[in-house]
Amino acid sequence: MTSPILTIDTPAGPVRATAGPLDADADAVVFELGGAMRGSVHVTGTTDPHHWDQFTAVRACLGPVNAFKTTAPDEDLPRLARGRTGYHGSLTLYRDSTGRPGVSVYPLSSAADHPPSEKTEAVLTAVLRGCAEHVAQRADLPAILEASRQRDTPGLLRFLTWCASYHQAEAVRLEREARTALPERKAAEASWRTAARWLSFSPDPVLLLMLADRPDSLTQKIRGLQWWAPYCVSAAAEEHERARRAQEEADSLRAQQRRRPRGRRPALVGTP
């Protein structure tokens, strides 16, 4: 069977991308580049950027390997046909909340970590997107997504478990801060009233500084404590929600591990 050859129009000229066969684990497609670019692009399945328990997206990485698992040697990074600089970075193709194709680009940079020029960035992005769109339309996409789910789930479970624990601990800390802010504010207000009463009997520069609207004064401390408690309550609620979502996604991944893959193709982009 002849390997598919894509022609991708870019600001530097057309790039030919030849798709190789799936690797032994049905995990990825590697494209060899020709024309205006040389090198390889590695395309694999991945999670939706906003739902880490849903393996419905496609990620294209500059280089012959999965850049999220290992780093390609500098000499193996793709480069423009007339250039010597290799580039790394990636692009994820997914569907947004409205069902439309969405694109997320991981920062593109040279092997020396310098950002590419605007023209070079447009070339790299076009090549990554063209390769990702081709894989998203392949008939064997379900096998690619299932292999990526099996590959990435253990690491994601460790990360999501840590996230749930971290955000829950942050929520508890913020709730504790909110509880202590009220008595601290009452104590500061009592001190302010005492200082004001003393000042009415005997003007004193120190008392004036304590009551003035300036940094480190009682007035500023009270003003800060007035918004600190409501802020902590609101921030704690957000941390609880982050912990809940991380736990929910971890539970979803565990449920996916327990059931057999269904093999239904999750379409990412429409077939032309």
pLDDT digits (tens, 9 = 90+) for 89-103: 999 999 887 778 899
Q: What is the pLDDT of residues 141-190, one digit of tens each?
A: 999 999 999 999 999 999 999 999 999 999 999 999 888 877 777 776 66
Higher-scoring residue by pLDDT: 268, 135: 135
Question: How high does pLDDT run on average in the chain?
Answer: 85
Residue 84: is it exposed, middle or buried by C-beta count within 10 angstroms (0-12/13-18/19+)? exposed
Q: What is the pLDDT of residues 201-217, one digit of tens each?
A: 667 666 555 556 666 66
Q: What is the pLDDT of residues 214-257, one digit of tens each?
A: 666 666 666 766 778 888 889 999 999 999 999 999 999 999 98
- If pLDDT is split at 50, 70 and 90, which confidence band does 130 have? very high
| Of 134, 143, 137, 136, the residue nearest 26 (C-alpha) | 143
One-letter amino acid identity for 154? P
Q: What is the pLDDT of residues 46-62, one digit of tens each?
A: 999 999 999 999 999 99
**Does 199 score more than 70 pLDDT?**
no
For every residue of 148-163, which 3-state class applies, written as one string? HHHHHHHHHHHHHHHH
Residue 137: is it exposed, middle or buried by C-beta count within 10 angstroms (0-12/13-18/19+)? middle
pLDDT for position 177: 86
Residue 118: is it exposed, middle or buried by C-beta count within 10 angstroms (0-12/13-18/19+)? exposed
Cβ–Cβ < 8 Å for 249, 53: yes
In the chain the first and final C-alpha atoms are separated, in Å, by 22
